[in-house]
Amino acid sequence: MLRPGDWMSRKQEGAPLALLTAWDALSGSWVAEAGVDAVLVGDSLAMVALGHATTLPVTLDEMLHHCRAVGRGVASVIPDPAAQPLLILDLPFLSYQCSTEQALAAAGRVLKESPAAAVKLEGAEPETLAAIDRLVRSGVPVMGHLGLTPQSVHQLGYRRQATDPVAQERVLRQAEALRQAGCFALVIEHVPADLAQRLQQLLPIPVIGIGAGDRCDGQVLVTADLLGLTPRQPPFAQARVNLRAQALPALRQWVESQRAPTSAAASPAPHC
Ligand code: KIV
């Protein structure tokens, strides 16, 4: 396992990091078998697995439930814990923003009640920075997340972020503040590639891009987008295969085959 403490040296080695999301045992086993460095149990599972319109409704209890399933899926294909990818869990909306104590309690539950060994938090408001500092000093590895932060969808929408120089300077300042607070890595979502590259050059911690160009230290994708499982794709996520389109005909065919009269069903029942 690539422990959070080793992520900086991985950046120094120039070896790119590959992260994918998972939401249940099946997806966890797939991404683990594919050889990812880390599995993100992202709160995108609210939309991918639970059918919500945004990530906001998912609760910490639900995240823990899904994370345990992902952990079982990972273990089913990589039984040796030392060889398993790092599991990172997204702290869901309003499970850490209310106070540092709330963040500590939530992260404590993650590390005690699930196989995740790190958490991800969105944003870099002063309260969030204070919470991250406290978590890190308490032994909780924290990944930051800037740019498009889906927990702020009602303020930001899902559009590309930091498209003007003022907003870009703000992201650069926030990223440095997250590093100082102790984040071991930073996810940067849906921002111009030049900004992601500046972050990559500025920060000693790995910058993991999603819809932020290819000049990052690594990439993360929502696995359902990569596999074409969802009806709507984000503009920056190219599906490598369209599993939904492949699955539907098989499912329809099966349903129709059950309705079609077979010779057995059509023939009269045998007399006893
Ligand atoms: O929730 C999630 O899946 C994420 C990724 C988009 C990085 O945060």
For the entire predicted model, the pTM comes to 0.94
Residue 267 reports pLDDT greater than 70: no
Structure tokens at 188: 């940067």
Nearest-CA residue for ligand 1 atom 6 is 222
Among 182, 264, 175, residue whose Cα is nearest residue 217: 175
Sequence-distant (6+) residues with CB within 8 A of 103 are 91, 95, 96, 97, 121, 131, 132, 134, 135
- The catalytic position among 13, 33, 125, 189 is 189
Query: Using CA atoms in the order 177, 19, 117, 47, what is the torsion angle rounded to 10 degrees?
Result: 90
The tens digit of pLDDT for each residue in 115-166 reads 999 999 999 999 999 999 999 999 999 999 999 999 999 999 999 999 999 9
Q: What is the mean pLDDT of the chain?
A: 95
SS3 159: coil
Ligand 1 site residues (CB inside 6 A) read: 21, 40, 42-44, 90, 187, 189, 210, 220, 222
What is the mean predicted confidence (pLDDT) over 216-237?
Answer: 93
Among 122, 86, 84, 85, residue whose Cα is nearest residue 103: 122
Residue 263 reports pLDDT greater than 60: no
Cα-to-centroid distance, 12 and ligand 1 (Å): 25
What is the mean predicted confidence (pLDDT) over 48-72?
Answer: 97
What distance in Å separates the CA atoms of residue 230 and residue 243, rounded to the nearest whole number? 9
Neighbouring CB atoms inside 10 A of 174's CB total 21
* AA letter at 137: R
The tens digit of pLDDT for each residue in 3-52 reads 998 999 999 999 999 999 999 999 999 999 999 999 999 999 999 999 99
Q: Give long-range contacts, CB 8 A cutoff, 24+ apart: 148-156.
A: 148/189, 148/190, 148/191, 148/211, 149/122, 149/123, 149/189, 150/43, 150/44, 150/54, 150/55, 150/122, 151/43, 151/55, 151/56, 151/92, 151/93, 151/122, 151/123, 152/122, 152/123, 153/54, 153/55, 153/56
Q: Which of 19, 67, 210 to mutate to test the pocket of ligand 1 (most atoms within 8 A of CB)?
A: 210
What is the mean predicted confidence (pLDDT) over 179-196?
Answer: 98
| Residue 270 pLDDT level (bands cut at 50, 70, 90) | low
Give me the residue label for tokens 């349903």: 255
The per-residue pLDDT for 207 is 98
Element (H, E) at 89: strand 86-90
Residue 268 reports pLDDT greater than 70: no
Residue 233 reports pLDDT greater than 90: no
The terminus-to-terminus CA distance of the chain in angstroms comes to 63
Q: Is 176 a catalytic residue?
A: no
Nearest-CA residue for ligand 1 atom 8 is 42
Crossing angle of helices 100-113 and 60-77, rounded to 10°: 30
Nearest-CA residue for ligand 1 atom 4 is 42
- Between CA 126 and CA 83, with CA 111 as vertex, the angle to 5 degrees is 115
